[in-house]
Structure 1
């Protein structure tokens, strides 16, 4: 149980602002965007756009399948599977995420061990995006489910997004996790509503720069993420980023740094990112993708 509480606190910067539930919705789903500080609202151009900005799905011209495995904090595991299908109407997307915190030790009022329980959170996503000249619009509907031992809660949520190309510059906007909240037993906690505004600049075909400003009104937080991506070779890219949310959680500005690399061979790609979280440990992500 202590491990679960520590994990929940790590997903929110300060206990005093831990007002929302379903904190797993804040965890990034892609190795590439998280290597860039999560600054992906405007840059989103692969199937992980389902998580950051559904409007980004419209940039896909082929079917795409993507999976990500994350070795998350305190021994927990976070996984993502996404699929996108372009059509004449627009691009449809399907996504699934799951946070598994493993087995937890249960204790009674006298702090005596009385067995164990498991805890997990899941989200199932259906998304759609359509390009309208230089503007793309997108939306998701999500079914959310959380389980702690024998108790469970579920709800639906919506995401909305838009982006606009202005030459080499793209402006993105997303509103994520719009819904009633999740109710465990008698208490309903609001979802972590996230309002994001982002910009991305593509310099030729080798360098991408991205900046996001994210506001969470339910948790009274505003954070900034920025990142860069440089294609050293057509098949090899280096990435680095910084996220203020990570640094605040760990009380050290250096802990907001992250980095990684990507490999691409024809229609296949692999990405890796490493993000330090101070005393809580390190987060490592591996993403694999294919377009066809």
Structure 2
């Protein structure tokens, strides 16, 4: 009996290894192209959500079975089976605050709906100009916000789709810009002992362009002439920048899933418009569906990245009825930029 289980586990590992090799060979072969880093607006949309997902290296497109599917793949929302809420607060790099709030509500055979609010704020800094390099006495800050709604429906017992519509805004001092975007996702359960395949396209929408009072200038058409109007009002025009469109494909597989424990591995391939293709990989061990250990690696094959190793842990505490409260922690290494720790609170209802 033990020998049979070992053989079955070995076969499953071979399936996962083959799929990973196919993904890596097809994506990393084109990793020498220009990266296009810094050519998109709203970079906060690329900050992953959920300590569970980040602990697994951001490989969550085909897992997508908790409320953080609002970010990774909306098609997974209808597979949660109950309502769930999440709150996450992260001290991001350079003392930037990142906050995420979301919830899902199931409607039985009519699918599942959800909403979220994603906000990032930059601390105040002193205004410095060419004329006042030591500061003008003023301070400026910056903020980004995304608010959205999602809907997911299971078309069959194995295949589901999901959509997200969101409003995006950014502000730097007195300059503002806004746009709208959609995410589209699919999730397929193959029936092969826990093998799932997911795909998503995120942040598809119009470009963003900053505008505001700080772009107003006074211009002297000919400084060499005395007596002319040297304060002709003008306005600087900023460039438009596209949203960080991203195409994602992922697979997830339960190496074993028993009454007492489950071990899941996942691999995601990313094709962003502002960077080279890369792969995220991770795993999760669940014990009694109460304790969780996770590990992963982000941005495999991406050029000049500081991202890398991740790990995390979680605990579920049963409250009353069908209600559970979950605490998750994740650590993500950022090389020269040190690391980011995050805590997430989830509530089942």
Q: Give the TM-score of the pair, scaled to structure 2.
A: 0.75
Of 253, 267, 270, the match for 1:211: 267
Aligned to 1:92: 113
Aligned to 2:13: none
Give the CA deviation at 1:24.
0.3
Of 120, 125, 137, the match for 1:104: 125
Aligned to 1:279: 336
Task: Report whether the alignment pairs 1:289 with 2:346.
Answer: yes
Corresponding residue SS for 1:183: coil
Aligned to 2:145: 122
Aligned to 1:239: 294
Give the CA deviation at 1:220.
4.1
C-alpha contact 2:278 2:302 (8 A) present in aligned 1: no
- Unmatched 5+ stretches in structure 1: 1-13
Matches within 5 A, 1:150-229: 150-167=174-191, 168-185=194-211, 186-202=238-254, 203-205=256-258, 206-217=262-273, 219-229=274-284
C-alpha contact 2:143 2:171 (8 A) present in aligned 1: yes
Partners in 2 of 1:20 and 1:221 — Cα distance?
Answer: 14
Instruction: State the superposition RMSD in angstroms.
Output: 1.7
Task: Report whether the alignment pairs 1:60 with 2:80.
Answer: yes
Q: Give the TM-score of the pair, scaled to structure 1.
A: 0.90
Of 55, 69, 87, the match for 1:49: 69
Of 88, 96, 113, the match for 1:76: 96
Aligned to 1:113: 135
**Structure possessing the higher radius of gyration over alpha carbons:** 2
Cα deviation code 1:108-151 (max 9, x no counterpart): 02433122111110100100000111101000000001011111
- Unmatched 5+ stretches in structure 2: 1-33, 212-237, 319-323
Aligned to 2:26: none
Partners in 2 of 1:128 and 1:234 — Cα distance?
Answer: 27
- Between 27-36 and 104-113, the greater mean CA deviation after superposition: 104-113
C-alpha contact 1:104 1:119 (8 A) present in aligned 2: no
- Structure 1 runs of 4+ aligned residues shifted over 4 Å read 245-251
Aligned residues: 275
Give the CA deviation at 1:59.
0.7
More strand by share: 1
Partners in 2 of 1:87 and 1:230 — Cα distance?
Answer: 30
- Between 49-58 and 203-212, the greater mean CA deviation after superposition: 203-212
Partners in 2 of 1:17 and 1:276 — Cα distance?
Answer: 20
C-alpha contact 1:42 1:173 (8 A) present in aligned 2: yes
Give the CA deviation at 1:272.
0.2
Task: Report whether the alignment pairs 1:263 with 2:315.
Answer: yes
Corresponding residue SS for 2:40: coil
Of 137, 162, 165, the match for 2:161: 137
Corresponding residue SS for 2:64: coil
Corresponding residue SS for 1:188: coil
Cα deviation code 1:195-232 (max 9, x no counterpart): 00000002215101000000012x14211100000124
C-alpha contact 1:169 1:199 (8 A) present in aligned 2: yes
Of 262, 266, 285, the match for 1:230: 285
- Between 97-106 and 174-183, the greater mean CA deviation after superposition: 97-106
Partners in 2 of 1:220 and 1:151 — Cα distance?
Answer: 26
